[in-house]
Amino acid sequence: MRFLKIVSCFLVVFLVVVNLIGHEGIASDGEITLKEAIKLGLDRAKKWNENAYLTFFTSVDEDMGGTRGETGKRYNWNLSFEAPGIEEQLFIFISRGEVSITHVGKGPSFGEIILEDIKFDSSDLVKIAKEKYDLQKGVDWATGYHFTIDGEKGKPTIAVLGNDKDSLFARITFDAKNGEIVRASHKVSVGGGLIKARLGSDESVTSKKGMAIMGGIAENKYLVVWGDKKPSQFSTTKQPFIEWSHNNGETWTALQVDNYVTHAWFDRNDQLYVATEKEIWAGITSKSKGKKILSLDNPIVQVDYSTNNHIAVLSNGNIYYTTDQGESWEQVIVPKPFHGVQITNNGDLLGLTEERKILQKANDGWNEITMPNSYEEPLDMKIINNRLFITTKSGIWIQDLQEGNWREIKVDEVVVQFINKGEKLFGYTHRGEAIYSINTKDERKPEKVFDAVGFVVSDVDSMGDTLWIATIPDYSWEEMTISQRR
């Protein structure tokens, strides 16, 4: 994972640079190779300090077209340099064959890359990677072929990044001096699927293994799940699906939805509502797409619904809400960037801002709901039956929105995120390592219902004494076998 950590650190520095500095020089139209980019960067670095040496190097994603690394050439490259006795570093961004941005600052240090040992260029190594491992262009993230240099232990290596024949993110690493392959690995999925667990028991069964189950609902006689059947590390919309089961998950039937699903729920009449990227549909079945009740120009960020099915949608700094099942919609501009929106059974709107303030819509604007203790900061909030639930580091606070009084519930662990399904409320702990069931009718202590260590949990619901947990795969590096020999 060192490569990803290096790129992440450098991108933080680079984003700061882009916001502070204009372009330097005039760009050309050319894509260039790794060694050509090094020469450009080194020439500029020697003007900063004649003893400058290279410490970091990577190609950078872009949408300019071109070959995207097919011939070992890219438009954009990032480099950083250091010099003896100097604490600061020189960051260089190359675009279209020109040094376009430079910045002197301080970032992570990775040691000197010995340039004399770099005998092979990206144009040479990408050919070998394609021939021996059938390496293909990246699609979802790091598009095309990418190239990085690692100077660890004084022996520079060059990695060619792309996708393997199964569309998994892959990395072929070469000895920069002799061109020999040092290692070849790809990111494989671990886990993922729908977990069925009995409340009060440690036993569980996983179905739909390897799939990215993005969400699920268990209501009366229906069980509905949605997600991606063939996810990758950087996409969960490759083979989207939504299915329901009438026999507790024994068999499944596909539902009629054109786009990937982001949220779904049932109203009190067992009518299924589905939100896609920009639309909401009502009455979805295996034989009918139902009725479209909302279509927006911008993506839907979040959806909330009350127990009597008032609906609120957050999109592009606006809230769209309905109190008549989607027959008509009102629109409100949010006063500050919202982390999420909630709607009560009375049709009142509340929002949690990105600054962790709770605002309630009033006739003349938005009023802040203050916490009982000034030092408390909301981590998340939900509304169920006109009761506001707020989780903080000290516990869970509940306010009756009509009476205005507060109550506190202590929890064994800090709940960082809520999930509500109708009148049911669940809570995740840090990193989703445990799932708690929170009683929404009284102030009983929340009960831990699932130990989620080792799982990447995306959603949870329950039906009777059965817990349904949606999980997505994690990814880890695994050695590759040679696909095709010269």
| 157: pLDDT strictly greater than 50 | yes
| 271: pLDDT strictly greater than 50 | yes
- Work out the burial of residue 433: count CB atoms within 10 Å of its CB; fewer than 13 is exposed, 13-18 middle, 19 or more buried: middle
Residue 13 confidence class, pLDDT cut points 50, 70, 90: very low
Name residue 76's beta-bridge partners. 60, 95
Q: What is the DSSP letter of 180?
A: -
Q: Same domain, yes or no, for 111 and 196? A: no
Of 297 and 385, which is predicted with more confidence? 297
| 156: pLDDT strictly greater than 60 | yes
| 7: pLDDT strictly greater than 60 | no
pLDDT tens digits, one per residue of 120-146: 999 999 999 999 999 999 987 789 999
Residue 11 confidence class, pLDDT cut points 50, 70, 90: very low
Number of domains in the chain: 2
Q: Measuring CA to CA, which residue among 225, 297, 208 is closest to residue 261?
A: 225
Determine contact, residues 226/211, Cβ cutoff 8 Å.
no
pLDDT tens digits, one per residue of 174-199: 999 999 999 999 998 899 999 999 98
| 444: pLDDT strictly greater than 50 | yes
Identify the domain boundary among 153, 188, 223: 188
- Helices first, then strands: H and E counts in the chain: 3, 37
Q: Could you give the CA distance from residue 139 to residue 286 in angstroms, rounded to a whole number?
A: 32
Identify the domain boundary among 188, 214, 237: 188
Q: Same domain, yes or no, for 170 and 201? A: no
Is residue 208 in some structural domain? yes
Is residue 339 in some structural domain? yes
Q: Which pLDDT does position 183 carry in this prediction? A: 93
Average pLDDT over residues 147-168: 90
Q: Same domain, yes or no, for 266 and 390? A: yes
E strands in 7-113: 53-60, 76-82, 89-95, 98-105
Q: Same domain, yes or no, for 57 and 129? A: yes
Identify the domain boundary among 149, 165, 188: 188
| 343: pLDDT strictly greater than 70 | yes
| 333: pLDDT strictly greater than 80 | yes
Q: Same domain, yes or no, for 377 and 465? A: yes
Q: Could you give the CA distance from residue 147 to residue 160 in angstroms, rounded to a whole number?
A: 5
| 6: pLDDT strictly greater than 80 | no
Give the chain's mean pLDDT.
Answer: 89
Within a 13 Å sphere around the CA of 223, how many CA atoms are in the beta-carbon half? 21
Q: Same domain, yes or no, for 138 and 202? A: no
Residue 486 confidence class, pLDDT cut points 50, 70, 90: very low
Q: Which pLDDT does position 483 carry in this prediction? A: 59
Q: Same domain, yes or no, for 38 and 170? A: yes
Q: From its phi and psi, is residue 290 left (phi > 0), alpha (psi between -120 and 50) or beta?
A: left
Q: Same domain, yes or no, for 374 and 466? A: yes
Alpha helices in 219-352 (DSSP H): none
Rg of the Cα atoms in the chain: 27
Write out the residue range of the structural domain in which residue 20 sits: 2-188
Q: Same domain, yes or no, for 393 and 254? A: yes
> What percentage of the chain exceeds 70 in pLDDT?
93
Q: Could you give the CA distance from residue 214 to residue 211 in angstroms, rounded to a whole number?
A: 9
pLDDT tens digits, one per residue of 305-328: 999 999 999 999 999 999 999 999
